[in-house]
Chain A
Amino acid sequence: MVSLYFRATHRRGAARNGRQISQVTGQKGGTRTSSAAFCFGGPVGRRTPLFELHQELGARIVDFGGWDMPVQYASQIGEHHAVRRAAGIFDVSHMCAVDLKGLRVRQFLQHLLANDVAKLKVPGKALYSCMLNEAGGVLDDLIVYFLNESAFRLVVNAGTRDKDLAWIRSIGQQFDVQATERTDLAILAIQGPEARAKTAALLSASGANAAMALGPFFGRDIDGWFVARTGYTGEDGFEVMLPASDAVRVWRELNAAGVVSCGLGARDTLRLEAGMNLYGNDMDETTHPFESGLAWTVAMQPGERRFIGREALEKVLANTAAPPRQLVGLVLEDRGVLRSHQKVVPAGETTSGTFSPTLERSIALARVPAGAVQQVQVDIRGKLLNARVVKPPFVRFGKAMI
């Protein structure tokens, strides 16, 4: 049994096949496995403050964008359902919090990001944005938090963090903005309908009240943690940045409260059901936001804001010669499992695909020519299978949306 591939991955960029899995099943090297997706042995990856705990809890560890991360504990599907129905906890400390300080930090971010931080009027408010190159390609997607007029915080992807930091610092110089990588913090995502209450129970009485009062896409310092009502699952919940030395204790306390340990495998099925893009799969430097389902994150108004990539995007909008493309959702109507890089007929390609535990059928995101199409076929191992075109999300707050 060979050719196990592990291509569709998570928020943090393209993962390679995990060492442990490839030892189990990768003896011959499969014909369907690209060399990039298949990694034998190799050096030890970077590790989060929770690495030993993951091992103790029986997680299967895989290489993910250079990090040794838990892909699942007991059952990936069980972990997925725990988040949809109750609460789960993810270690996302491989993501990178970057603190930006400077008197012109807001002006800097209005230049750096495709979304407009002018929308951030209240301290604590967060914004999702792409960071583009001059060609309009997506360097990364990130969340930016407005702390105060001279301090903002970014959370960027693990697979791109080194490249991002270099880019942010080079542009930041022009604005006298200092960027500090917060390697002293661990990041936990606690997600699911019961996640907020279970997390708040670990805080002081006043802290719990403050946490429960946070509106969607708001974050603030509470009892020495930065608690944000954000996530990547389509459920309510928190992402908590806390001192690395607290992380193991907090994880155990949440486990004791019934919050299920969840790996990056469940994180990927949850985000795809939620219709959320994965950097490196669904968009990258070669694609622009308009063909990645991310037009809503690009603030073309006001017209005088000259953010990086703007000119390229204006050309895209003005260019009627090049046929535009769009990112759509697919639901497989035949039996099988959609994966990334499968050919769509009449035209296009899947960018992420998986089995949806909630819908009990396979779903995907696919980049196809713009225009209304309701039905396509996908080439899976030489067979053309029928898929319905839908508008993501597939699932939100535990309910099927398609």
Chain B
Amino acid sequence: MSNVPPDLQYTKTHEWVRTLPDGTVEIGITDHAQHALGDLVFVEVPEAGRAVALGEPCAVVESVKAASDVYSPVAGEITLGNPLLAGEPEAVNNDPYGKGWLMRLHPTKGAASADLMPADKYQTLLQTEGG
């Protein structure tokens, strides 16, 4: 059911991570997560320059009924929060892996990262969860 692009990495808490050509990473929430949250009406993304630790809450996505923290799966320094989402939070619903990305960060060299999994393993996790 859920769209799980093969070229991304995933966390068990339903974030995706994309490594960009310049070595920075782009982070968002998965199609499964946006569907579970429902219509998003407010997204708060971190400001550029902020240092985030592994597992630190650094963004908030809110649907009509529910608020959810997004925890950084990678330690590093934020290079950009997606400026589109202030006026168009529904981009996360409509295009979670594209226009709906949340933030980009420059990873700290040598820092530990969360257990990231490839697409097939994330797909299996979703099936286990009944999603």
Contact B38 A28 (CB under 8 A): no
Verify if A39 is at the interface (C-beta below 8 Å from B).
no
Verify if A384 is at the interface (C-beta below 8 Å from B).
no
Q: Which chain B residues numbered 29 to 77 have a C-beta less than 8 Å away from chain A?
A: 29, 32-33, 36-39, 41-42, 44, 57, 60-71
The interface-forming segment of A4-12, A155-163, A210-218 is A4-12
Contact B129 A24 (CB under 8 A): yes
Q: For residue B33, which residues in chain A have a CB less than 8 angstroms away from its CB?
A: 1, 24-25
Contact A335 B38 (CB under 8 A): no
How far, in Å, is B125 (CB) from chain A's closest CB? 11
Q: For residue B19, which residues in chain A have a CB less than 8 angstroms away from its CB?
A: none
Q: For residue B64, which residues in chain A have a CB less than 8 angstroms away from its CB?
A: 76-77, 80, 265, 269, 354-355, 357
Q: Which chain A residues numbered 342 to 383 have a C-beta less than 8 Å away from chain B?
A: 354-355, 357, 362, 381
Which one of B65, B67, B129, B131 lies within 8 Å of A32 (CB-CB)? B67
Q: For residue B38, which residues in chain A have a CB less than 8 angstroms away from its CB?
A: 60, 72, 75-76, 265
Q: For residue A357, which residues in chain B have a CB less than 8 angstroms away from its CB?
A: 64
Contact B42 A24 (CB under 8 A): no
Verify if A209 is at the interface (C-beta below 8 Å from B).
no
- Which of A71, A80, A355 is most buried by chain B, counting CB atoms within 10 A of its CB? A355
Contact A1 B129 (CB under 8 A): no
Contact B68 A4 (CB under 8 A): yes
* Interchain Cβ contacts under 8 Å between A and B, 24 examples: A1-B33, A1-B71, A2-B69, A4-B66, A8-B65, A20-B36, A20-B130, A23-B129, A23-B131, A24-B14, A24-B33, A24-B129, A31-B57, A76-B38, A76-B64, A77-B39, A77-B41, A77-B64, A80-B64, A265-B64, A335-B42, A336-B42, A337-B62, A381-B60
Q: For residue B26, which residues in chain A have a CB less than 8 angstroms away from its CB?
A: none
Contact A25 B62 (CB under 8 A): no
Contact B62 A335 (CB under 8 A): no
Contact A355 B37 (CB under 8 A): no
- Which of B13, B39, B60, B131 is most buried by chain A, counting CB atoms within 10 A of its CB? B39
Contact A339 B68 (CB under 8 A): no
Verify if B112 is at the interface (C-beta below 8 Å from A).
no
Q: How far is the CA of A75 from the CA of B66 in the complex (A)?
A: 14
Contact A337 B42 (CB under 8 A): yes
Q: For residue A25, which residues in chain B have a CB less than 8 angstroms away from its CB?
A: 13-14, 33, 36-37, 68
Q: How far is the CA of A6 from the CA of B62 in the complex (A)?
A: 11
On whether A75 and B129 interact (CB within 8 A), knowing A25-B68, A354-B64, the answer reads: no
- Which of B29, B36, B62, B66 is most buried by chain A, counting CB atoms within 10 A of its CB? B66
How far, in Å, is A250 (CB) from chain B's closest CB? 27
Q: Which chain B residues numbered 114 to 129 have a C-beta less than 8 Å away from chain A?
A: 129
How far, in Å, is A266 (CB) from chain B's closest CB? 8
Contact A5 B42 (CB under 8 A): no
Q: How far is the CA of A186 from the CA of B75 in the complex (A)?
A: 53
Q: For residue B12, which residues in chain A have a CB less than 8 angstroms away from its CB?
A: 27
On whether A3 and B36 interact (CB within 8 A), knowing A27-B13, A355-B41, A355-B42, the answer reads: no
How far, in Å, is A378 (CB) from chain B's closest CB? 14
Contact A3 B65 (CB under 8 A): no
Verify if A222 is at the interface (C-beta below 8 Å from B).
no
Residue of A nearest to B129 (CB): A23
Contact B39 A24 (CB under 8 A): no
Q: How far is the CA of A77 from the CA of B13 in the complex (A)?
A: 25
How far, in Å, is B26 (CB) from chain A's closest CB? 15
